[in-house]
């Protein structure tokens, strides 16, 4: 099995690369630096970079694509004076458009697989049932990518490609802070189990890292 994980230079992405490597699987990660071994160059906000990665992998089969790259830029913004338009644009470029373009550009490689899968890392903050306020940009972008994943699941199911959307947990990373509940290793291991279980019967699912169905 060949897996490609975006945003894999640190945090959950790196933990998943390490996990699949330890299992003897072929795995590529991406980062915004030049190619280094199994780490390939990709800026998910740059269409030219997206096309270059697809060209770089022209002869590959991708069995599992994990769209993990993302940003959380509005943690400390103030409702009255914060949340500038440029922050909205940057966040959606990474968290939504970047996910779509990654999938779009790597569809040829996914179509070569027998039972291809796409895993989109969203967040519980995408759910409309959880609305405690704040983080408007991040919440909106993760809700958008949840919607994107659900619609892609409908369109790609007839093509034999399953799509799952996942909440990785509150994880001790730069994004999640040291106060978070679980380690990157726990999150990565749980997500990898979820990806293994994903199939066409469960396509379109929104699940937590530990296997619970999440409310939309």
| Residue 80 domain-assigned (yes or no) | yes
Give the H/E segment covering residue 165. Answer: strand 162-167
**Mean pLDDT, rounded, for 95-119:** 98
CA distance 62 to 27: 9
Question: Residue 111, Cα to own-chain centre: how many angstroms?
Answer: 19
**Mean pLDDT, rounded, for 20-43:** 97
CA distance 169 to 210: 8
| Residue 19 domain-assigned (yes or no) | yes
Percent of the chain with pLDDT over 70: 95
Contacts of 24 (CB under 8 A, 6+ apart): none
For the cut 70, the answer to whether the pLDDT of residue 175 exceeds it is no
What CATH code is carried by the domain that includes residue 80?
Answer: 3.40.50.720
Note the maximum CA span of the chain. Answer: 51
Domain count, the chain: 1
Neighbours of 129 (CB within 10 A): 8
| Residue 181 domain-assigned (yes or no) | yes
For the cut 80, the answer to whether the pLDDT of residue 178 exceeds it is no
CA distance 23 to 62: 17
pLDDT of residue 105: 98
**Mean pLDDT, rounded, for 114-139:** 89
| Residue 94 domain-assigned (yes or no) | yes
CA distance 209 to 191: 5
Helix (H, G, I), strand (E, B) or coil at 103: helix
């Amino acid at each position: 099995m060949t897996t490609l994980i975006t945003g894999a230079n640190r945090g959950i992405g790196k933990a998943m690369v390490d996990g699949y490597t330890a299992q003897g699987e072929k795995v590529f990660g991406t980062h915004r630096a030049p190619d280094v071994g199994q780490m390939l160059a990709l800026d998910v906000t740059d269409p030219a970079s997206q096309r270059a990665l697809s060209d770089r992998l022209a002869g590959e089969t991708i069995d599992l694509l994990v769209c993990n790259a993302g940003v959380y830029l509005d943690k400390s913004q103030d409702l009255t004076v914060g949340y500038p338009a440029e922050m909205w644009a940057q966040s959606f470029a990474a968290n939504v458009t970047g996910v779509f373009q990654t999938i779009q550009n790597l569809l040829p490689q996914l179509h070569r697989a027998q039972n291809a899968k796409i895993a989109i890392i969203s967040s519980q903050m995408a759910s409309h049932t959880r609305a405690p306020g704040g983080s408007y940009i991040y919440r909106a972008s993760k809700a958008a990518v949840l919607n994107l994943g659900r619609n892609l699941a409908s369109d790609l199911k007839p093509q034999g490609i399953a799509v799952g959307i996942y909440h990785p947990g509150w994880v001790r990373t730069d994004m999640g802070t040291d106060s978070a509940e679980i380690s990157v290793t726990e999150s990565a291991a749980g997500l990898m189990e979820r990806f293994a279980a994903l199939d066409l019967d469960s396509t379109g699912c929104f699940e937590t890292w530990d296997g619970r169905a999440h409310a939309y």
